[in-house]
Amino acid sequence: MSTLQNRTAKSGRETFTSGLAVFFATLGSAVGLGNIWKFPYLTGQFGGGAFLLVYFLCILFVGLPVMLGEFYIGRKTRKNAVGAFQQLKPVSGWKHIGTMGVAAAYLIMFFYSCVAGWVYYYLYKAVKGDFIAITPESVKTQFTDVIIGPVSPILWQVIVMAVVGGILILGVRKGIERITKTLMPLLFVLIVICGIRAITLPGAYEGLKFLFHVDFSQLSAAAILTAMGLAFFKLSLGMGTMITYGSYFTADNNLFGTAAKVALSDTIVSMLAGIAIFPTVFSFGMEPGAGPGLLFMTIPLVFSKMPFGNLLLIAFFFLTSIAATTAMLSLVEVLVAYFSEELGFSRRNAAIINAVIICGVGMLAALSADQASLLGNVTFLGRGFFDWFDYISSNILLPMGGLFIAIFIGYFLKKDDIKKELSNQGNLTIDKLIDVYFVIIRYVTPALLVIVFLNSIGIIKV
Ligand code: PFF
C-alpha cells in the first residue's frame, strides 16, 4: 500500500460513492429502534396525537435545521465530531461540543445495544417457532423471559456488538454503504405490509384514533421535552453523528435535499410503525402506555393466525435487527472516527476497544431493564441504569448539543462560507432558501430549545 493510501485508510477518510449511497447511509442512521421501538412506546405513554403534533414541529423547526448544520460542519471540514469543531474554531472551547457528542454516543449505545440484543433474540425465537401459537397473555411472559436473563440479554448484547464492530472494521464503503443500500428499502416494504395487516384487524379504528386524535389536555412539560428529545434521537442529531457522516458525503451532494429527504422518509417509517402497532394494541385489548415492551408484545400478535404469519414475523425481526444495526454503525462510527483520527488508534483497534467498553458498561442497562432483573431494584432518584442512560442522552445531551450547534452555525461562523458550502460553491441556486435557513437557525431553533428546557424545569409554563 502506498503511503498516501495508507494514510487514507488509517484516518478513515473515505467517502460514500454516490448521492444514493449518501441518502441510504444517512437514512440507515436515522431509521432504527427509534422508529420501531421508541417512537410507538413514547407516543403511547404520552397520549397519542398531541405528542405526535409536537414531535412534528420539533422535526421541522429544530431537527431539520440542526441536521443541515451538522452536514455543513462535517463536509466542510471532513473531520470527526471533535476534530471538525477544532478545525473551524481552533483556539476555543467549541470542540467540547464534539466531546459531549462522544459521551452521548456511549450513553446511547449502552442501552441501545441492549434493546438490539432483545431484537436479535426475538429473531432467533421467531426462527425456532416460539411465537406460532402466541396469545396476548403468553406474549407478555415471552418478553419478560427475554429481558430478565440474566445471562441471555448479556449474551445477545455481546453478539450485537461483535456484529457492529465487525462491520465497522470493514470501513465506510465496504461496511456501512453496502449494508444500508440493500436492506433499507426492504424494511420499508415490510413495515407497509405490517401496517396493512394491522388496520384490517377488528377494532383497528380505536388505535388509529389514539394515534391521530389531538387532545392538548394530554400534553405535559415532560411530554414536550420527550418529544424534543425523540426528534434528536430519531434523526441522530446533537452528538456529531451527522457531522461524522457529513464528512463522508460526496462534494456535489445537495445537503438541503438530503436533509429533507431523510427527515421525511424517517418520519414516514415511524408513522408506519405506529400504524402497525396501535391498532394491534387496541384490537387485543392491550395498554398503549405499556412502555419499552410495547413493540415486543404487539408485533408477534400482528402476524398471529395469518397465512405465512411466522415467516413474516421472521422477516420483520430480521429487518428490525438490520435497522438497529445500521443505526448503531453510525453511533459507534462517531467513536471510531474520534479514536482513530484524534487519538491515533487504527480503525480496527478503535472498533474493538469501543465494542468492549460498550458491552462492559452496557451490561448494567441489560441487568436493569426490568424490575425483576438482577439490578432491577437499584435506582437513583427513581430511575435505574437503563432509564438514566436513555434520559441523560436523549433528553439532555442531544438537545443541548443541538442548541450549541445552532448557536455555532448562526452566530460564530461566516454566513458567506456556509452559503458557499451549502450551494456547492455556487452550483445550486438556493440563495432564498439559505436566507430563510439563517433566520430559523439563528432565532427559531435556539428559542424553541430554550423554551422547552425552561418549561421542563418549571421556570416557564407553556
Ligand atoms: N436514530 C436512531 C434511531 O432512531 O434508532 C438512533 C440514533 C442513531 C441516535 C445515531 C443517535 C445517533 F447518533
Q: What is the pLDDT of residues 101-160, one digit of tens each?
A: 999 999 999 999 999 999 999 999 999 999 998 898 899 899 998 998 889 999 999 999
In SS3 terms, the chain reads as CCHHHHHHHHHCCCCCCCHHHHHHHHHHHHCCHHHHHHHHHHHHHCCCHHHHHHHHHHHHHHHHHHHHHHHHHHHHHCCCHHHHHHHHCCCCCCHHHHHHHHHHHHHHHHHHHHHHHHHHHHHHHHHHCCCCCCCHHHHHHHHHHHHHCCHHHHHHHHHHHHHHHHHHHHCHHHHHHHHHHHHHHHHHHHHHHHHHHHHCCCCHHHHHHHHHCCCHHHCCHHHHHHHHHHHHHHCCCCCCHHHHHHCCCCCCCCHHHHHHHHHHHHHHHHHHHHHHHHHHHHHCCCCCCCCCCHHHHHHHHHHCCCCCHHHHHHHHHHHHHHHHHHHHHHHHHHHHHHHHHHCCCCHHHHHHHHHHHHHHHHHHHHCCCCCCCCCCCCCECCECHHHHHHHHHHHHHHHHHHHHHHHHHHHHCCHHHHHHHHCCCCCCCCHHHHHHHHHHHHHHHHHHHHHHHHHHCCCCCC
Is residue 211 within 8 A of residue 48, CB to CB? The reply is yes
Q: Is the dihedral of CA 307, 311, 315, 316 positive or negative?
A: positive
Predicted local confidence at residue 269, as pLDDT: 94
For the stretch 209-225, pLDDT in tens is 999 999 998 899 999 99
Determine if ligand 1 sits within 6 Å of the CB of residue 331: yes
Residue 10's pLDDT band (cuts 50, 70, 90): very low
The closest residue, in CA terms, to atom 11 on ligand 1 is 236
Residue 90's pLDDT band (cuts 50, 70, 90): confident
Measured in Å, residue 243 CA sits from the centre of ligand 1 at: 13
Residue 462 lies in a domain: no
Domains in the chain: how many in total? 1
Predicted local confidence at residue 6, as pLDDT: 34
* Mutate-to-test residue for ligand 1 from 233, 242, 319, highest number of ligand atoms within 8 A of CB: 233
Residue 461 lies in a domain: no
Q: How far is CA 101 from CA 329, 350, 399, 402, in A?
A: 15, 17, 11, 10
Which domain covers residue 362, as residue numbers?
3-456
For the stretch 128-142, pLDDT in tens is 999 998 898 899 899
Predicted local confidence at residue 4, as pLDDT: 31
| Cell triple for 87 | 478545525
Measured in Å, residue 328 CA sits from the centre of ligand 1 at: 7
Asked whether residue 3 carries a pLDDT value surpassing 60, the answer given is: no
Residue 24's pLDDT band (cuts 50, 70, 90): confident
Determine if ligand 1 sits within 6 Å of the CB of residue 164: no
Determine if ligand 1 sits within 6 Å of the CB of residue 239: yes
Q: What number is the average pLDDT over the span 64-70?
A: 97
* Mutate-to-test residue for ligand 1 from 27, 29, 109, highest number of ligand atoms within 8 A of CB: 29
* Mutate-to-test residue for ligand 1 from 35, 100, 232, 330, highest number of ligand atoms within 8 A of CB: 330
Residue 322 lies in a domain: yes
Q: What number is the average pLDDT over the span 328-340?
A: 92
Measured in Å, residue 64 CA sits from the centre of ligand 1 at: 15
Asked whether residue 20 carries a pLDDT value surpassing 70, the answer given is: yes
CATH number of the domain to which 218 belongs: 1.20.1740.10
Residue 437: burial class (beta carbons within 10 Å; 0-12, 13-18, 19+): buried
Determine if ligand 1 sits within 6 Å of the CB of residue 33: yes
Q: What number is the average pLDDT over the span 300-309?
A: 82
For the stretch 171-190, pLDDT in tens is 766 767 777 777 778 888 88
Predicted local confidence at residue 352, as pLDDT: 95
Determine if ligand 1 sits within 6 Å of the CB of residue 233: yes
Predicted local confidence at residue 175, as pLDDT: 66
Asked whether residue 445 carries a pLDDT value surpassing 60, the answer given is: yes
Q: Rounded to whole angstroms, how far apart are CA atoms 230 and 169?
A: 29
Predicted local confidence at residue 82, as pLDDT: 92
Residue 16's pLDDT band (cuts 50, 70, 90): confident
Residue 128: burial class (beta carbons within 10 Å; 0-12, 13-18, 19+): exposed
Determine if ligand 1 sits within 6 Å of the CB of residue 30: yes
For the stretch 369-392, pLDDT in tens is 887 788 888 889 889 999 999 999
Residue 99 lies in a domain: yes
Beta carbons within 8 Å of 452's beta carbon, 6+ residues apart: 224, 225, 228, 399
Predicted local confidence at residue 307, as pLDDT: 80
The closest residue, in CA terms, to atom 12 on ligand 1 is 236
Asked whether residue 9 carries a pLDDT value surpassing 50, the answer given is: no
Q: Rounded to whole angstroms, how far apart are CA atoms 269 and 260?
A: 14
Atom number in ligand 1 closest to CA 330: 10
Predicted local confidence at residue 250, as pLDDT: 92
Question: What angle do the packed helices 136-148 and 95-128 form, to 10 degrees?
Answer: 130
Asked whether residue 8 carries a pLDDT value surpassing 50, the answer given is: no
Measured in Å, residue 236 CA sits from the centre of ligand 1 at: 4
The whole-chain average pLDDT of the chain stands at 90
Predicted local confidence at residue 183, as pLDDT: 79
Measured in Å, residue 12 CA sits from the centre of ligand 1 at: 21
Residue 170's pLDDT band (cuts 50, 70, 90): confident
Asked whether residue 1 carries a pLDDT value surpassing 60, the answer given is: no
Q: What number is the average pLDDT over the span 224-239?
A: 96
Asked whether residue 11 carries a pLDDT value surpassing 50, the answer given is: no
Residue 140 lies in a domain: yes
Predicted local confidence at residue 13, as pLDDT: 65
Q: How far is CA 54 from CA 128, 230, 236, 439, in A?
A: 41, 11, 18, 21
Question: What angle do the packed helices 221-234 and 49-58 form, to 10 degrees?
Answer: 50
Higher pLDDT: 355 or 304? It is 355
Q: What number is the average pLDDT over the span 435-454?
A: 95
Determine if ligand 1 sits within 6 Å of the CB of residue 32: yes
Residue 253 identity: N
Q: Rounded to whole angstroms, how far apart are CA atoms 102 and 114?
A: 19
